[in-house]
Amino acid sequence: MKNLIALLFVVALGTTTYAQDFEKGGNYITIGYGIDASGLPGSNVYRKLGFGPVMATYERGITDIIGIGRIGIGGGIAWSHYGYNDYNSSIWWLAGNEYLTSVNRLNIFVKAPYHFEFDIDGLDVYAGAGLGVRIDSEKYDYWNSGVVTEEKRTSVGVDHYIFAGARWYFSDAFGVYLEVGDGISNVNAGVVFSL
């Protein structure tokens, strides 16, 4: 198995024919994993746990060169999980009320990136913005003087996504990407497929 993985990696790196980095009519799918530091609570919280977001996006090139690049449009979906404990006590030596919270977050968004034309084979640099819906499914286990209460709630809100990133293609159809941003994800990386 290790030899097969190594062979696939060498073949991907050794391929020297590149697709046009980003083009009108092109279809691009990314699958990646990121970090959303803003999803984790602060202050009195301890035992923080964050996973994700795991992201999948689709994008299509919709223009020829405008200025120094091309415009794409697309959308995506992201899933995250956050868990944490929280004390609610104004007197530190009293246990107070303790909350164990679990949050599953689903983001569904549209995005519009601008891809810069640097004329470097295999490199695609872009920046853009997006807007979407955030659905949080929260579960609270609440301890108060030994009595446990469980509560569930779902909240829906609007999320923004401002991002910049780069893709590097190893072949006509496959590459990797790294993206930084604000909103849905602070940083995410993964693979890109050009269809």
Q: Say yes or no to pLDDT of 94 above 90.
A: no
Q: What is the pLDDT of residue 83?
A: 80
Per the model's pLDDT, the better-predicted residue between 6 and 191 turns out to be 191
Among 11-15, 22-26, 47-51, 62-66, where is mean pLDDT lowest? 11-15
Give the residue with greater pLDDT, 120 vs 91: 120
Question: How far apart are alpha carbons 109 and 130 in whole angstroms?
Answer: 7
Instruction: Scan for tokens 């990696």, then name that residue.
Output: 9
The structure's pTM equals: 0.77
Contacts 24+ apart (CB under 8 A), 172-180: 172/17, 172/18, 172/19, 173/19, 174/12, 175/122, 175/124, 177/30, 177/32, 179/32, 179/34
CATH of 17-194, one of 2.40.160.20, 3.40.50.620, 2.120.10.30, 3.40.50.300: 2.40.160.20
The pLDDT of 3-28, averaged and rounded, is 60
pLDDT for 149: 77
Contact present, 169 and 194 (Cβ < 8 Å): yes
Say how far apart CA 18 and CA 40 lie, in whole Å: 40
**Among the listed residues 6, 24, 23, the one whose alpha carbon sits nearest the alpha carbon of residue 14:** 6
Structure-model confidence comparison of residues 71 and 146, the more confident one: 71
Give the per-residue pLDDT at 7: 41
142 versus 180: which is more confidently predicted? 180
Which one-letter DSSP state was computed for residue 92? T
- 187, β-bridge pairs: 35, 180
pLDDT at 147: 72
Rounded to 5 degrees, φ, ψ at 118 are -100, -5
Whole-number pLDDT of residue 174 = 96
Asked whether the predicted pLDDT for residue 8 surpasses 60, the reply is no
By three-state DSSP, how is residue 8 classified?
Answer: helix
- pLDDT reading at 46 higher than 80: no
Please name the residue that has the structure tokens 């941003």: 181
| Domain ranges across the chain | 17-194
Give me the pLDDT at residue 92, please. Answer: 45
